[in-house]
């Protein structure tokens, strides 16, 4: 069984500064995918960034980058130049593929609060 751990229940960051949200995972599957989602208070899950287990380079999407350290089983999200609109819950998730289909399992989440 896989497991996703986010050790920071809540974080503050000053507007325009960078922030790192931690995520560690545990799986015995050689092929897996790691996702980060943002969930504002409205409830929708917004996809931010993806990293495949075989990807050689760290993923980047605009202000978001993923610091993927495979040997340490960590996939930290880095948000550069924080904006007030970045205040939300952030979830790390891992996709497992088995004969039954795809399964996406989430970590406990980190609530990010951006201060003006």
Partner 1 sequence: DTEVTQTPKHLVMGMTNKKSLKCEQHMGHRAMYWYKQKAKKPPELMFVYSYEKLSINESVPSRFSPECPNSSLLNLHLHALQPEDSALYLCASSQVGTGSYYGYTFGSGTRLTVV
| Site residues for partner 1 per CB under 8 A | 31, 33, 35, 37, 42-47, 50, 52, 54-55, 91, 95, 97, 100-109
Contact status, residue 75 vs residue 66, Cβ threshold 8 Å: yes
Shortest Å distance, C-beta 2 to partner 1: 12
Shortest Å distance, C-beta 16 to partner 1: 28
Q: 7 or 31, CB closer to partner 1? A: 31
Q: 84 or 103, CB closer to partner 1? A: 103
Shortest Å distance, C-beta 57 to partner 1: 13
Q: 85 or 116, CB closer to partner 1? A: 85
Burial class (CB in 10 A: 0-12, 13-18, 19+), 21: buried
Q: 28 or 42, CB closer to partner 1? A: 42
Give the contacts of 93 (CB within 8 A, at least 6 positions apart): 4, 34, 35, 36, 37, 104, 105, 106, 107
Tokens of 75: 């996939």
């Amino acid at each position: 069984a896989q497991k996703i751990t986010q050790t920071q229940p809540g974080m503050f960051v000053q507007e325009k500064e960078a922030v790192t949200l931690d995520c560690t995972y545990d799986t015995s599957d050689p092929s897996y995918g790691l996702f980060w989602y943002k969930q504002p208070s409205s409830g929708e899950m917004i996809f931010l960034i993806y990293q495949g287990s075989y990807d050689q380079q760290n993923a980047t999407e605009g202000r978001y980058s993923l610091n993927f350290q495979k040997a340490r089983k960590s996939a930290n999200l880095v948000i550069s130049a924080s904006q007030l609109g970045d205040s939300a819950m952030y979830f790390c998730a891992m996709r497992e593929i088995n004969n039954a289909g795809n399964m996406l399992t989430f970590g406990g989440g980190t609530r990010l609060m951006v201060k003006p």
